[in-house]
Amino acid sequence: MSSFKSKRVIKKFVQKLNASPNIVFPLLCPKMEYKWIEPWNCKMIYSKSGYAEDNCVFETNFPEDLEPETWFVSQYINNQAIQFVRFNNYKITRQNITLLNNKDGSTTAIWEQIITGLNEEGNKYIDSYTDEVYKEEILMIEKMLNYYLEKGQMLKVNLP
């Protein structure tokens, strides 16, 4: 009998985006993120349209994720909400993004991640993914997205 006990963490952040949900929502797509996220790289595995849609599947491979992650779009409500389930051998993440129309040309975006370790390596990842790390990451996403919404081009960031 294994003595492993899974850890779970929930991270939540509210963003102010400078466009209405009908403009923001299409950008929350693995193919469209090439336009505004640096660095972004994914491999589309399944999509009828070639873009984000219900039951779409794609893969990313970022160094901070320990190994490639498979992403599954488990909820898709046009211009309102998208939910991704992301997983690899170490952790599983449910990522919810909800868009609220502020009726003034802006959007409140609520980002929530629920991360569960699947083994000791996953638990170590959770321990290292502090509130400060998450806040820095999500603020950069907000900054990149607002820059794209304002300028129509990608914000170039100085990466290590």
CATH number at residue 124: 3.30.530.20
Q: How far apart are CA 100 and CA 108, in angstroms?
A: 5
Domain-embedded: residue 156? no
Is residue 11 predicted with pLDDT exceeding 70?
Answer: yes
What is the residue-averaged pLDDT of the chain? 95
Whole-model pTM: value is 0.94
Domain-embedded: residue 160? no
Q: How far apart are CA 97 and CA 73, in angstroms?
A: 11
- Judged on CB neighbours under 10 Å (0-12, 13-18, 19+), 79 is middle
Domain-embedded: residue 140? yes
Domain-embedded: residue 157? no
Domain-embedded: residue 158? no
Is residue 10 predicted with pLDDT exceeding 70?
Answer: yes
Split into its structural domains, the chain has a count of 1
The whole domain housing 99 covers 8-151
